[in-house]
Amino acid sequence: MGAYIVKRFLLGIFTIWVVSVLAFVIIQLPEGDWLDEYEKVLYGHYQHLTLGEKEDLRDYFGLNDPMIVRYGKWAWNVLHYDFGYTYIQGGFEYPALKPVREKIEERFMLTVVLSFFTMAVTWVFAIPVGIYSAVRQHSVGDYFFTFVGFTGIAIPDFLLGLVLMYIAFAYLDQTVGGLFSDKYMGAQWNLDKIWDLIKHLWIPAVVLGTSGTASLIRIMRNNLLDELGRPYVMTARSKGMSNWRLILKYPVRVASNPLVSTVGYLLPALINGSIIVSVVLSLPTLGPVLLGAILQQDVFVAGAIILMLGVLTVVGTFLSDMLLMIVDPRIKFTSKQ
């Protein structure tokens, strides 16, 4: 098992390097370079750079160097938690340069809080319901949850978000959009602000988790139904093992394999989430930041977030492999294959 873990770890490091190369190439794809885009923003604010200032900036950011040299500098800076600079637009104010890491840090924590809350709600609801639907196949409850599941998959997330925003505003007297009330925007963290955040989390959690919950319920139900028909289940029942003990000890563990495997894409979902839903609900997450960076060709921001998504995908895949070793009793790593 140790050799397998080391092998997977080394492959993960190599994959992250490949992702970093791809992220850097994406940064270089737009016509011109980063300074040209910054200059366009300055023109929009009736500002301009002198020839000397442009050359100084090109030298500072190494824009005149060959691509392989620029990649080496960028990769070295990324290892030191420096993703470059971005420009901030605010009305007619001078668009100041700001480190990309500061722009990411502004929204990273709220993104993680929202995503983990959504994942917790999804898994806590989906797994028990999936088990119930499989054990009580063709019952009224099974048909009800099947109907709810297909409905959740069919309804677009952004449409569900608009409906819940209307219900919250019209009937629950709750401010909609964002994760805070107006008086807590930009305020220092305290118990009142945390409670206000919790009160606002339910709408985005329901919107972002509905389709995922519905899918997990169907996956859990179908996989568990397959396992309940296996010979080892029939043998255990014939020996007098109680029904729920039998179901939870082996079939559920085996049926949860696909759920554990989803960790590979759940971690990057912490960063991007549903970009359209984030825009509709005015959520202060990294999804809209990535969308805005792509639209405005803010290449360092886009490259940094794309790199983060790639790294989280690799880490999630590695973690899912490790969890499968624990969850699935059939997986054994020995010297004989």
Rounded Cα–Cα distance for residues 62 and 268 (Å): 30
pLDDT of residue 332: 60
- Average pLDDT per consecutive 10 residues, the chain (337 residues; last block may be shorter): 79 89 79 72 67 76 80 86 73 63 82 80 85 88 86 81 82 74 76 82 80 82 85 82 80 79 69 73 82 77 84 83 72 54
pLDDT of residue 28: 75
Identity of the amino acid at 150: F
CATH architecture of 108-287: Orthogonal Bundle (1.10)
Identity of the amino acid at 178: G
Output phi, psi for 98, to 5 deg. Answer: -140, 140
- The phi-psi region of residue 32 (left if phi > 0; otherwise alpha if psi is between -120 and 50; otherwise beta) is left
pLDDT of residue 95: 58
Rounded Cα–Cα distance for residues 62 and 27 (Å): 14
pLDDT of residue 146: 85
pLDDT of residue 45: 59
pLDDT of residue 252: 84
pLDDT of residue 218: 84
pLDDT of residue 330: 64
Contact 271, 92 (CB under 8 A): no
pLDDT of residue 237: 81
Report the 10 Å Cβ neighbour count for 82: 15
How would you class 290 by CB atoms within 10 Å of its CB: exposed for 0-12, middle for 13-18, buried for 19 or more? buried
The predicted-structure confidence for 145-167, as pLDDT tens digits, reads as follows 888 878 877 888 778 888 888 88
User: How long is the chain?
Assistant: 337
Question: By C-alpha distance, which of 76, 46, 42 is closest to 57?
Answer: 42
Structure tokens at 169: 């505003």
pLDDT of residue 264: 67
Which residues sit opposite 99 in a β-bridge? 85
Task: Enter the pTM of the model.
Answer: 0.74
pLDDT of residue 101: 87
Which residues sit opposite 87 in a β-bridge? 97
pLDDT of residue 309: 84
pLDDT of residue 89: 53
